[in-house]
């Protein structure tokens, strides 16, 4: 039987400085907004405003998750969320992070709140998380802040997720400013975790990458949707578990594209047909050094086509030897 519970879920990009139509707010679940975007500010609409500088102005600088169903807004502790009968989008409010609290404890507390909320409301499938962390590569008390983040997230997942639960897609980037910014998408229908055959699973990384491994899947497939959605996690120039092409932005870009292509091929193989086209997706590119933006954009345009939606943002990457990271959202048949 065809399950149409999530048929109306879509993700759309909002062009630079373009106002979001007021007429669509009543069917908006929430979204992400970066420097230069013009999404509305509302106490009941969960929008993650991440302070990342835009490095281009011709494509989307914001992402909004939409439904055609009626939505309900709510808040709980440090969370703001909105949902329809099947999907929930929420944010962890950055200004509620205690600056005296360690990042590990702040992350643990944030994810504990998220998982408790989802359990209470019945949206127990955590699909996707976006994490923006101040000074992500800084060493404090002998440990990089990204690794402290991983410890906190791992601890919350170990306590609150069932032992056989699949892990969400995710990204974790360094941002300016203070604190921890988290947005999350969850639902009632199960998802399919997609891994990359060119890489080992993130949660199987050796201890050289920290006391607790990163807890995410390379991508997740939402198949209970009329237009299936493939959400690709932050992807970089990593083969196996090792970073490749240190110091070479061009080679890292090409390696990253190869990794995303491998993920898309895995999803299509699982579905038994070419549901997703690499050239028809929304791509968000995080770049460590702004001077690399032109060559990265040129290579992406060559590989994906000149009309593909590519958003370039300045951000620090989770490993100091990585120069860029790319995440993507693809809808079946290239429809957005």
Catalytic residue numbers read 325
Pairwise CA distance, residues 173 & 169, whole Å: 14
The CA-to-CA distance between both ends of the chain, in Å, stands at 25
Instruction: Give the list of residues 6+ apart from residue 77 with CB closer than 8 angstroms, or none.
Output: 113
179 touches 110 (CB < 8 A): no
Return d(Cα 5, Cα 193) in angstroms, integer: 19
Side-chain-side CA neighbours of residue 167 (13 Å): 22
Beta strands in the chain (DSSP E): 10-15, 28-34, 47-50, 60-66, 72-76, 79-83, 87-92, 125-134, 139-140, 143-144, 169-175, 180-187, 192-194, 219-222, 229-235, 238-239, 242-243, 282-287, 309-314, 324-331
The single-letter DSSP state of residue 21 is: P
């Amino acid at each position: 039987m065809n399950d149409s519970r999530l048929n109306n879920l879509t993700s759309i990009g909002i062009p630079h400085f373009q106002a979001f139509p007021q007429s669509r707010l009543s069917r908006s679940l929430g979204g992400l907004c970066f420097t230069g975007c013009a999404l509305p500010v509302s106490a009941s609409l969960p929008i993650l405003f991440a302070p990342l500088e835009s490095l281009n102005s011709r494509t989307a600088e914001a992402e909004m998750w939409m439904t055609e169903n009626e939505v309900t807004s709510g808040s709980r502790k440090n969370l703001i969320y909105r949902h329809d009968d099947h999907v929930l989008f929420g944010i962890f409010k950055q200004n509620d992070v205690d600056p005296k609290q360690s990042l590990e404890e702040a992350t643990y507390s944030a994810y504990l709140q998220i998982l408790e909320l989802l359990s209470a409301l019945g949206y127990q499938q955590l699909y996707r998380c976006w994490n923006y962390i101040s000074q992500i590569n800084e060493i404090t008390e002998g440990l990089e802040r990204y690794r402290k983040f991983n410890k906190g997230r791992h601890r919350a997942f170990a306590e609150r997720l069932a032992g056989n639960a699949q892990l969400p897609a995710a990204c974790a980037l360094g941002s300016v400013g203070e604190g921890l910014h988290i947005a999350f998408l969850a639902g009632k229908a199960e998802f399919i975790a997609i891994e990359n055959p060119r890489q080992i699973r993130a949660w199987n990384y050796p201890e050289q990458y920290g006391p607790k491994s990163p807890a995410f899947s390379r991508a997740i497939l939402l198949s209970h949707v009329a237009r299936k959605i493939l959400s690709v996690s932050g992807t970089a120039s990593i083969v196996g578990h090792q970073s490749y092409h240190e110091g070479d932005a061009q080679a890292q870009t090409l390696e990253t594209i190869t990794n995303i292509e491998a993920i898309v091929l895995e999803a299509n193989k699982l579905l038994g047909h070419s549901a997703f086209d690499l050239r028809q997706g929304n791509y968000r590119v995080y770049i460590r050094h702004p001077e690399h933006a032109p060559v990265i954009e040129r290579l992406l345009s060559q590989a994906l086509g000149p009309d593909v939606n590519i958003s370039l943002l300045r951000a620090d990457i989770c490993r100091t030897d990585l120069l860029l990271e790319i995440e993507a959202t693809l809808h079946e048949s290239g429809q957005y």
